[in-house]
Amino acid sequence: MNPIIVIGGGASGLVAAIMAARHGGRVVVLERMQRVGRKLLATGNGRCNLSNRRIDASHYHGVDPSFVDGVFGQFGLDATLAFFDGLGVIAEAEDGGKLFPASRQASSVLDVLRYEMAQRGVVEVCDTIVHTVERRRGGLRCVCGDGRIFEASRVVVCAGGKSSPNLGSNGGGFKIAQAMGHTLVDPFPALVQVRLDAPYLEQIAGVSLQAEAAAWVSDRPARTECGELLFTKYGISGTPILQLSRVLSEAAMRGRVSHLRIDLFPAWSREALMALIDQRKSNDPGKPIAFSFVGFIHKRLIPVLLQTANIREPQRPCGTLDATETERIASIMKAWTIPCAGTQSWMFSQVTAGGVDVREVDPVTLESKRMPGVHFAGEVLDIDGDSGGYNLQWAWSSGAVAGMHAARLLGLRAESQ
């Protein structure tokens, strides 16, 4: 019998290979890079954010986010933790429910996965780019760009999306799926830094602050996140921005106007800020307006905020600020509005939004409804998660489910796990 072929040696592909082998399959992994797992090594800033304690469909996106429920019902968080515990990886929790290996090394996770594949007889074939998957004589074959052909009994496509192409994801899985007749939900970068359209970015590049940021699309609020923001020469970064980037990236792709609205003091009302400004004016009315905010607002932000609030002559005494000017300053502090200009490129994005339409994939087996015998897993599908371990959890779970059913549907007997 021909082997089960896994296309892509990323997180989902490695687990798919292991689970297919554990269920009796002879497995070959075809990887386009020189070695498997390169993108996995970069996850969690090299520490590998394995998962999150708060796994549910609310943290996932796509045409049908509830699609994840059928997968997690078969191989969810508990099964994932048991799987890695069996490989020797102990998971520890950090803030926000994030789970990391106790070693805090992504390389250790890759090492134990590759060791398990070797123990199960999984063959790795690198520097191999699959162009199409075709049906021949009742079976399947993977046709590579260099002319090589790999015969297969079943195929699991785990070729990733388009994010971080330098680490292996170049959209090849999308082309394979489209050649089978699958519909592609337009892909766009997610979990990526946001570009802003403002003249003062160089002036405040490098400034970080704790604040609340809201993404607005077509003059409607879309999502709000709190945490540390970091201004850059091109725009803005930080975990809250990565979380907001999906809606802003999609807006840019669809030609919709978007902006960020930043609340510098989410714990204060506008009225409370106005009262505080008045108090600082009373304490030293002769102090220059700009200097009167030192110790309250980051010094490099002060001239930008005052200019945005249309405060003329910021070096005049703060005692000359009238009620209208005070109200404008407080309003800017509560709702600093900055136009967006899209996001950084695929090279900088952590995950791909969009992909193979999940309505064309069996929600239990992850088998293609267009080409029986082919399964999909991971980022190639139109499922993407929030920052914080959700995308790796989807990779582990979908890979496990696809690999397991690829072997089971061949009538193979599961080995002891």
Q: Are residues 21 and 157 in the same domain?
A: yes
Whether residues 165 and 57 share a domain: the answer is: yes
Does residue 289 carry a pLDDT above 60?
yes
Please, what sign has the CA dihedral across residues 219, 220, 223, 228?
Answer: positive
Task: Give tens-digit pLDDT for 178-225.
Answer: 999 999 999 999 999 999 999 999 999 999 999 999 999 999 999 999
Average pLDDT of the chain?
96
Let me know if residue 348 belongs to a domain: no
Quick one: pLDDT band at residue 73, thresholds 50, 70, 90? very high
Rounded-to-integer distance, Cα 140 and Cα 151, Å = 6
CA 250 to chain centre: 14
Residue 285 counted as domain residue: yes
Please check whether residues 174 and 200 belong to one and the same domain: no
What CATH number does residue 28 fall under?
Answer: 3.50.50.60
Q: Which of 343, 362, 383 is the last residue of a domain?
A: 343
Q: For residue 98, tell me if it sits in a domain.
A: yes
Verify that 144 and 163 share a domain, yes or no.
Answer: yes
- What average pLDDT does the segment 146-155 reach? 96
Same domain, 209 and 332: yes
- Per-residue pLDDT at 7 exceeds 50: yes
pLDDT of amino acid 137: 80
Residues 181 and 208 grouped into a single domain:
no
**Boundary-marking domain end, from 294, 320, 343:** 343
Residue with tokens 């090594």: 41
Go through 378-407 and write b for each residue having 16 or more CB atoms within 10 A of its CB, e for each that does not: bbbbbbbbbbbbbbbbbbbbbbbbbbbbbb
My answer on whether 185 and 213 are in the same domain is: no
Residue with tokens 């796509």: 62
381 DSSP 8-state letter? B
- Please check whether residues 265 and 403 belong to one and the same domain: no
Q: Is the pLDDT of residue 227 over 90?
A: yes
User: What percentage of the chain carries pLDDT values higher than 70?
Assistant: 99
Q: Are residues 180 and 207 in the same domain?
A: no
- State pLDDT tens for residues 9-60: 999 999 999 999 999 999 999 999 999 999 999 998 899 999 999 999 999 9
What is the DSSP-derived secondary structure letter of residue 382?
S
Query: Is 148 found in the same domain as 201?
Result: no
Q: Do residues 243 and 390 lie in contact, with contact meaning Cβ atoms separated by under 8 Å?
A: no
72 occurs within a structural domain:
yes
In a domain, 12, yes or no: yes
> Where residue 417 falls among pLDDT bands split at 50, 70, 90?
very low
Which of 343, 364, 380 is the endpoint of a domain?
343
Q: Rounded CA gap, 350 and 377, in Å?
A: 17
Count how many domains the chain has. Answer: 2
Q: Are residues 35 and 159 in the same domain?
A: yes
Torsion of CA 159, 164, 167, 171, to 10 degrees: 30
In a domain, 416, yes or no: no
- pLDDT, one tens digit per residue, over 230-247 is 999 999 999 999 999 999
Instruction: Please state, in angstroms and rounded to a whole number, the distance separating the CA atoms of residues 51 and 393.
Output: 5
Q: Does any domain span residue 415?
A: no
Domain of 117 in residue numbering reads as 4-189+353-408
Give Cβ neighbours of residue 317 (< 8 Å, ≥ 6 apart). 285, 286, 287, 288, 289
What proportion of the chain, given as a percentage, has pLDDT over 90?
95
Q: Does 198 reside within a domain?
A: yes
Same domain, yes or no: 318 and 365: no
